[in-house]
Structure 1
Amino acid sequence: MSDTAPYASKPERSLGRLHGTGPSPTRSEFQRDRDRIIHSTAFRRLQQKTQVFLQYGGHFRNRLTHTLEVSQMARSMARALRLDEDLAEAVALSHDLGHTPFGHAGERALHSAMAPYGGFDHNIQAMRVVTRLENRYAEHDGLNLTWETLEGILKHNGPLTNPDGTAYGRYIKEGLPTGLDDIPAVADLRLSSFASLEAQTAAIADDIAYNAHDIDDALRAGLITLADLVDVPLAGPIVREVLARYPDIAPKRQAHEVQRRLITRAIEDVITTTSANIAASGVASAEDVRNAGRTLVTFSPAAAEAERGLKTFLFDRVYRHETVMGPVRQSETVVTDLFARYMETRDLPTRWGEAAASAPDAAHLARIVTDFIAGMTDPYALDEYQRLFDARPDFR
């Protein structure tokens, strides 16, 4: 038995996998999930998928480095909260497996192209990756992950529906994503319940990583300076104290000091607040967590408000900066044009071309095209664009 809290997920009580496997003498079921994810093709492809900054060089985050940073934070918080660290890590490592090339720009373009067929959702795509598209194993498609890891991938940001089946949270406005009825799992993934504390920890680690590391990359790219952050919520007080204590050190050292303090304080805030939330809720098991009626892994109210202010600043000054938006528009064009050409000609390489040739209708063809494009790395998407259009965008 693991030395975790009563409300933690227990690998020995896992609902199991769709395809049975023998027990491992050295690894828990959640450790096996983590290992399967790390060894997957989709995980390796993350190293050549954009996070925010397109083709800025090796010092800027890509999807893989972002994912590794999220997993480290998730594991640290899980340890402090006495959760199952391996499940938290597995969800964190897999949370971006469904992302397209070119970051959120590629996702927006693919969602628009797929509008006639139900749109595109990267969490649903991640589920397709781990349950259908990975084809490494002799006896089944997918990675054959446990129910708990699949639940975490799908619901780490919260439930998708209310108990009556109506849309919940952001899906009230966006509508439920297509593909929810096509997720093979050993048991019902229970769209109306909350995910485990481990999955919730992975979700908030994603937010912390975005905030701290997008600041770091924006400073590195010269889009902002530390002086621009002095009055920004969450980051501002830290910037002021770092500049006051270390006024004469190199700016890059000042920036790193800001980043590490921002991460540390955010994580400590989450641990303190979540511990209080757990105590107040009275949850005594992982099942109680699913039925708690709210997310328990949270920032404090003050930190949550400040975090929203920081996100607003990053959106206005970084994500919508013309240095970022120029390549974004070009990358959206690449994805849009690739989708249209594949739909018109069915000219996809290798096994994808064989699948496209036999697609019975436009909806099935669109699903094949989407799976193919979503799995591309940035360089491969550009190679395909050059093959089909004899042109290659320059993002510099």
Structure 2
Amino acid sequence: PGLNLTWEVREGIVKHTTEYDACDARGYEPERRPTLEAQVVNAADEIAFNAHDVDDGLRSGLIEPADLARVTIWRKVCERAGVSAEASDELSWRSAIRELINMEVTDLVQSAAGALEAHGIDSPEAAREHPASLIAFSPAMGEMNSELRSFLQTHLYRHYRVVRMAVKAQRLVTDLFRTYVQEPTQLPNPIQARLQEGDPYRVVCDYVAGMTDRFALEEYRRLFDPEVRT
């Protein structure tokens, strides 16, 4: 079972950089850079997440436009989009977010092209041997992006309402895993059959990991709410 991924794809996943986890890269040449394709995915992921989280924060009311207006890159994209940095209407901030994506993607493409030329990268192997990622923002954009990330960390990810939901989600997943392990007959028959073939912890983990948010919530109610029929 599982995906039959190529070595390069698995390497890219292992070396995908985040602030909240660090995979064991042994077996995937940790001293070398991932492929240029993987570096592009890494950068694109950050651009998409930042834009999505700004949109989510404004839409939910967790981020105040007046607070966001103090962030350098937000002021710049609002100016380019022709809207007020403190605008509270959805049309204005959507225009600004589109400009944010455009501005960061444009900078990334130009910066990467310059780096490839400046360092004489003429092959995939040369890119992998280079000591630093070649697909990266310019220093100025990198500084502004870091400021935006810090703002989101303080005003969104650590907002008490977000933290409460994260704790609820952690408790839900933990309780589902624990009850399945302690009483596996609650699992669907096909999953029970797999318990005989491998590590029960891994089987249960894979089953829970494959749940959608909606299914996990419904399953939690079926298992723990006495008023919900199973």
Partner of 2:223: 388
The answer to whether the Cα contact below 8 Å between 1:226 and 1:239 also exists between their aligned partners in 2 is no
Alpha-carbon distance in structure 2 between the residues aligned to 1:338 and 1:209: 31
- Residue 114 (structure 2) pairs with residue 276 (structure 1): yes
Larger Rg: 2
- Identity, % of aligned positions: 35
Partner of 1:154: 14
- Shift of residue 145 of structure 1? 4.1
Partner of 1:262: 100
Q: Secondary structure at the match of 2:121?
A: coil
Report the RMSD for the aligned CA atoms in angstroms. 2.8
Alignment: residue pair count: 224
The answer to whether the Cα contact below 8 Å between 1:274 and 1:298 also exists between their aligned partners in 2 is yes
- Shift of residue 281 of structure 1? 2.0
The answer to whether the Cα contact below 8 Å between 1:230 and 1:240 also exists between their aligned partners in 2 is no
Change (3 A) 1:170 1:227: closer
- Residue 140 (structure 2) pairs with residue 302 (structure 1): yes
Partner of 2:90: 252
Partner of 1:222: 61
- Shift of residue 146 of structure 1? 3.9
Partner of 2:179: 341
The answer to whether the Cα contact below 8 Å between 1:229 and 1:239 also exists between their aligned partners in 2 is no
Partner of 1:200: 39
- Shift of residue 241 of structure 1? 5.3
- Shift of residue 148 of structure 1? 3.4
Alpha-carbon distance in structure 2 between the residues aligned to 1:343 and 1:323: 31
The AA in structure 2 aligned to 1:298 is A
Partner of 1:176: 24
Change (3 A) 1:202 1:155: same
TM-score between both structures, scaled by the size of structure 1: 0.51
- Residue 208 (structure 2) pairs with residue 376 (structure 1): no
Flag the structure with more relative contact order, 1 or 2, with Cα contacts below 8 A and sequence separation at least 6: 1
- Residue 178 (structure 2) pairs with residue 318 (structure 1): no
Change (3 A) 1:391 1:320: farther
- Shift of residue 175 of structure 1? 7.0
The AA in structure 2 aligned to 1:388 is L
What does 1:1-396 align with in structure 2 at a 5 Å threshold? 132-133=1-2, 142=3, 144-157=4-17, 176=24, 189-240=28-79, 242=81, 245-246=82-83, 251-346=89-184, 347-357=186-196, 359=198, 364-390=199-225
Q: Secondary structure at the match of 2:72?
A: coil
Deviation readout 1:160-183 (Å, 9 max, x if unpaired): xxxxxxxxx997xx5738xx7xxx
Alpha-carbon distance in structure 2 between the residues aligned to 1:378 and 1:319: 19
Higher helix share: 2
The answer to whether the Cα contact below 8 Å between 1:157 and 1:200 also exists between their aligned partners in 2 is no
TM-score between both structures, scaled by the size of structure 2: 0.84
- Structure 2 unpaired stretches of 5+: none
Deviation readout 1:274-332 (Å, 9 max, x if unpaired): 11211122221111111112211001112112211111111111122233222222111
The AA in structure 1 aligned to 2:190 is R
- Shift of residue 343 of structure 1? 1.9
- Shift of residue 205 of structure 1? 0.4
